Chain A
Amino acid sequence: MIVRISGEGQFRLPDEDAGRLNELDNRAVSAVEQGDETGFKELWSQMLELVSGDGNRIDDDELVESDVILPPRDVTFDEACGEFTGEGLIPD
């Protein structure tokens, strides 16, 4: 699975991580919906850790599209509120 952290580049993650990332994603969404900034920050750093810790950075000479694109590392809670709400464009 290929994941991009916006503004930072792409990472190749083992497919097993997809479930974990999805779970964190869902929890982050509900943290945002509840206005829980601390909870969101914690989950967000876990997501980043999973992607950049477990994944391998994709070389600059590899030309592939990402399966998932995450917001920039320094996304603010306000920005997240704009991006993480509702069902998203493609409800899962």
Chain B
Amino acid sequence: MPGLAGRMSTVVKAKISRMLDKTEDPGETLDYGYQKQTELLQNVKKGIADVVTSKKRLQMQSQKLEQQVVKLDTQARQALSQGREDLARTALERKNLAQTELQSLDQQVKELEGQQEALTANEQRLRQKIEQFRTKKEVIKAQYSAAEAQVRISEAANGVGEEMADLGLAMQRAEDKTETMRARASAVEELEQAGAFDDITQLGSGQDDIDRQLSELTSGAQVDDDLSKMKAELGSGGGDAPALEQGEEKA
């Protein structure tokens, strides 16, 4: 393919051959390596399991946050209907923050899902190719002279070797991604533990540190907007104002 020895293709290819060097001669791996192949496929399984674990963790966080968003929204309405605009504002600030986190979590769950599917497909392809290589090798040996057979077998081995190396790259990439997401999940957990998404029934009197940080974090405009929408809804809806759940505050 003259002319197509282009940059990016070459770079990726170079990475792959470097990996091939590291994983030794693919022919040798395939010839002697029941054990090596099993190890490789085990690694892939472990890699996929890691992705699934990270995904589950993010999904659980996302569910929790969803519940919190609903709760905070309800509380904001209740607070407002009792004339407690300050409490309503705090609840909406928290809700906004939770929603922002929720969006990014959902995006990441989707990405991990894609990764899981790709790795699974990759693994099956490699399995298939390894099986095929075993069969083919015997056929080639029977059909060709020793010298010719060696050439053909090593061609086939390189084909499988490329697949192995590519799977190696995919795993490395998946690892990098899950690493990033693990960090992300921990950050959300820290926010959670700091009470950033707590509902307002758990608020002490007066502004605490978190509230001040929250006010800085969340966009004031969005909260103002939510607040006036809520006011309009409550105004037009009329009717009895529901009381605050638990820890009821005197209006």
Contact = CB atoms under 8 A, between A and B. Distances in A.
Contact of A88 (B10, B132, B136): B10
B8 A25 contact: yes
Interface string A59-84: 01111111111111010000010011
Interface in B36-56: none
A72 B173 contact: yes
Given A61-B132, A74-B114, A1 B1 contact: yes
Interface residues of B, number: 36
**Size range of the chain A interface in the assembly:** 35 or more
Nearest to A66: B162
B6 A6 contact: no
Interface string A18-42: 1101100110110000000000000
Given A60-B129, A89-B14, A90-B5, 5 more contacts: A6-B166, A63-B132, A63-B133, A66-B162, A68-B6
B63 to A, nearest CB: 26
B249 to A, nearest CB: 48
A4 to B, nearest CB: 7
B156 interface: yes
A85 interface: yes
A69 B9 contact: yes
Contact of B7 (A21, A72, A85): A85
B160 interface: yes
A7 B118 CA distance: 7
B-side interface mostly: helix
A8 interface: yes
Contact of B16 (A67, A69, A84, A85): A69
B4 interface: yes
Interface string B187-229: 0000000000000000000000000000000000000000000
Given A6-B169, A6-B170, A89-B14, A18 B3 contact: yes
Contacts of B160: 63
A69 B12 contact: yes
Contacts of A8: 118
A77 B212 CA distance: 37
B113 interface: no
